[in-house]
A and B are shown apart, each in its own frame.
Chain A
């Protein structure tokens, strides 16, 4: 019996928004009542009240699993009690704020990892998040809004969600709510209005949330009937494969995010490789080695296969590997530094381009740099 239960993974449903106050939690709670009226055993695993009256009122009639108290730096902090939820074994659980980082000392660093545990135990999870927490969008969001988000979720976690719905509210309505004090207390609302809640930022994030949801809907569509246009195109052009060159440069994170995003849209396989003379990075300085190891780890966290290649000639080694795995595209980082290193790098990029033969080479923009733009009045 227990075996049978464990074999069914829970369903994950994400209520996706673009800012605090658009109504994600409200909609999740409404759905919980709907489920309850259908006889589903649903409980609240974690709920962030934010002192919003309408939302708090919606928790009436729903059971809450008490939070766990964790001592951190001599003050008690509260986190979701994943073990208690597992013991309670509901059919479905509500988990607010999917991208949350747990207090140090918790069993798992991230709330999305707790959710994985619940799903593995066969419990359905309903959760909330904003689009800007998606890892692969991190640089793009920085580039177009000036907002750098720290708490991110790897794209594959969203990809395996069974359902993603967009919770929409227009920026104007959101700004009204903020001014009326519905979203935050007055002092915090003023600060928010001057920073994150600029109308241009909200409009841009809202558009990204819509496109992301549309992409999620599309990638969940049942496969095309044989002979359909997408399948025909795939058959004619084969499967795309991307190889990303990781260099000892912190900006490589932007290359990895971009590569992940492009390969998701193209339904391509993706590899991240680093080239060293010694084949195990031992010829690099400790700093460089650490940077590369961190980048390769980051890539693995996004479910990108990684390799360290041995070779004296980085361009030639990279291109050989790309050819062996049947790559269609090579991604390298564009760097703008002082004139001299730039000329040296131009040599590397140029050599890759000239060796690549029939492969395409993409020189990825460094989206971690941003000109500060004049701001909205």
Chain B
């Protein structure tokens, strides 16, 4: 059986030379591209727009050339007061929809553009269907952009938002656009807007926005460490690795690992180290276990290596694993008694990683 090349495999991130190359390319591109900074809020009325305009005001005071290129129609007085102190390139009104005047902005060429509300759809016939694509054009032209965004307007979050609030907006910005931002700031304040949402709903959205930003930050940390050639030292997020064997009680191991991962909002991995001469029975059991791992949405890898514990630990270190889950077979053979089995060696050598042993 060869290495799995399924969905899960794509999400395994380390060590990945292609990812490193992408980061290097992104860094090179970034020399010419403008910087994108996003103020992310979990609901309306938490003060994203205010934070954004306030940053614009402060940068302007420090001598940066800052221009407002899109405003929201219904700003609160405090935000509007700050926004009005800054120069603006007004939006065009097409079919009653405000559209960033990209040619006018490019002609004006400020250092920094403020875009309040990233998730607008442009009217049919516009050069770009969505506002974030306009923003992309500004960034590509070397202009920096500071913008504000509500969790509910991230496409990949909309199923979750709908499950919490019962509805989600029609427009949206893809997660990938957020991931590529140079900086994402979480605006974690109580909402001052009139909202039909209950405290529990707001707190669910708030939690999601925090975790989403933490994930963006986690990816940035990896990229930073990769680019600077720093060996990563992990521990910011729980990552659980389940060691698969044909005989392991995989269902219990995986179910427990999944529960723990969910509680910690971490990541789940499962590996199997190829062993020679598996019996047909063991092969069937192993295949069944791998199906279980996939059902628990683990990142799965099949590894080759003559030294199973060393192979597992190399993988664990490369993937920032914080806990290894392993089954324990009570029946010891004379050989494992003599040399120390896989379990003993894992315990002995898993420096910096917890090892949790499950009864068979």
Contacts and interface: CB of A to CB of B under 8 A. Distances in A.
A204 interface: yes
Contacts of A350: 344
A365 B353 contact: yes
Interface in A127-175: 140-141, 143-146, 165-170, 172-173
B236 A211 contact: yes
Contacts of A141: 235
Interface stretch (B12-20, B222-230, B285-293): B222-230
A346 B349 CA distance: 12
A222 B198 CA distance: 11
A320 interface: no
Nearest to B260: A266
A178 B203 CA distance: 33
B295 interface: no
Given A374-B231, A375-B230, A166 B186 contact: yes
B230 A373 contact: yes
Q: Which 6 A-B pairs have the closest CB atoms?
A: A210-B214, A144-B235, A214-B210, A170-B183, A166-B188, A207-B217
A125 B45 CA distance: 25
Given A206-B217, A207-B237, A376 B230 contact: yes
A377 B231 CA distance: 13
What class of interface size applies to chain B in its complex with A?
A: 35 or more
Contacts of B218: 207
Interface in A176-232: 199-200, 203-204, 206-208, 210-211, 213-215, 217-218, 220-222
A361 B210 contact: no
A278 interface: no
B347 A365 contact: no
A294 interface: no
B91 interface: no
A200 B221 contact: yes
Given A165-B188, A165-B189, A173-B183, A362 B214 contact: no
A262 B328 CA distance: 22
B171 interface: no
A200 B350 contact: no
Contact of B355 (A199, A213, A215, A362): A362
Contacts of A166: 186, 188, 210
Contact of B207 (A218, A362, A366): A218
A375 B229 CA distance: 9
B235 A203 contact: no
Given A143-B352, A200-B228, A365-B354, A168 B233 contact: no
Contacts of A170: 37, 183-185
A217 B221 contact: no
A362 B325 CA distance: 9
A377 B228 CA distance: 8
8 contacts: A166-B186, A168-B213, A169-B185, A204-B235, A208-B236, A221-B203, A237-B259, A329-B356
B131 interface: no
Contacts of A172: 182-183
Given A214-B207, A374-B231, 4 more contacts: A143-B233, A200-B225, A370-B233, A373-B233
Contacts of B233: 143-146, 370-371, 373
Interface in B175-222: 182-190, 199-200, 203-204, 206-207, 210-211, 213-214, 217-218, 220-221
B203 A168 contact: no
A208 B189 CA distance: 18
Contacts of A370: 233
A145 B236 CA distance: 10
A282 interface: no
A129 to B, nearest CB: 15
A377 B353 CA distance: 27
A144 B265 contact: no
Nearest to A377: B228
Interface stretch (A74-82, A96-104, A109-117, A352-360): A352-360
B211 A210 contact: yes
Contacts of B357: 353, 356, 360-363
A265 B210 CA distance: 17
A336 interface: yes
B338 interface: no
A342 interface: yes
A146 B51 CA distance: 32
A203 B352 contact: no
B108 interface: no
B264 A265 contact: yes
A210 B352 contact: no
Contacts of A220: 203
